[in-house]
Amino acid sequence: MESRMHLTVHVRFGGGLRVPHLRMGSPGLPYFNSTSAVEGAVGLFANQADFAPMALGGSVSGVLQRGPGGGPLGFSPFFFLSCQGTSVNDNAYMLGLSDDDPHRIALRKGPIVTGIPDSEGPGVLLSSGESYLQGTYLHLRLDAIYNENGDVVLQALVNDLDAHPLGTESNWQSIPGMPTFIDDVTGINAGSSPLAPGRAGFAFAVKDVTRRAYFDHIQIMRQVEWL
């Protein structure tokens, strides 16, 4: 996939998608902790040249965790692609951990502020067959490949951290229960037209106090020609 997409790699994060009552950790290991019982979302997108927004699709990958805190429900961490603007109210493609106990990996299309409410909620396109306990680190990747005919090809992938830990070469595999999804130009599969190319990053949606999410080894790449 990477050679076909002709991706350029690695960007810094900065700017955008921030609401009150949330705190973010150090740049070395980004984490979020909700400090008030308020509903909202916070996140960061890549703001370098050619990434804000991207001309076509791209790829975002990294490690994330629904961290132990005040409870197992009321929050969801995720990566996003094709965010339509710089507000949490803008739509995007999201891959992350659902607001379930235990949670699942889910692919959703919708507003950043809503996150991934549950693995079968509105806008969820696919969810994993396997569920995971709170505190589990998962290494995920979302690709959005834009075709010249207007279709967007969405791929959700996982790297087994036990077999291929951070610092070694990742072995990306399809997630059981989550085949390649075509967001077709006619709107049949997703119930709406594909999203235009946009911004990429990571975010945290929350509904309660002391909900926590952790991120690491985040990488963003961009598609530089049509397929």
pLDDT confidence bin for 1, thresholds 50/70/90: very low
Q: Do the Cβ atoms of 84 and 107 come closer than 8 Å?
A: no
The model's pTM: 0.90
User: Quick one: pLDDT at residue 47?
Assistant: 87
Nearest to 40 by CA among 84, 88, 85: 88
8 or 58: which leads in pLDDT: 58
What phi, psi does 121 have (nearest 5°)?
A: -80, 180
- C-alpha span between 59 and 80 (Å, rounded): 9
Q: What is the pLDDT of residues 96-127, one digit of tens each?
A: 999 999 999 999 999 999 999 999 999 999 99
Mean pLDDT of 139-153: 97
25 or 119: which leads in pLDDT: 119
Q: Which of 5-19, 20-34, 170-184 has the highest mean pLDDT?
A: 170-184
48 or 78: which leads in pLDDT: 78
Percent of the chain with pLDDT over 70: 87
For the chain, what is the mean pLDDT? Answer: 88
- The CATH code of the domain at 2-222 is 2.60.120
User: Which stretch of 1-10, 50-59, 75-84 has the lowest confidence by average pLDDT?
Assistant: 1-10
First vs last C-alpha separation in the chain: 11
Residue with tokens 């830990």: 165
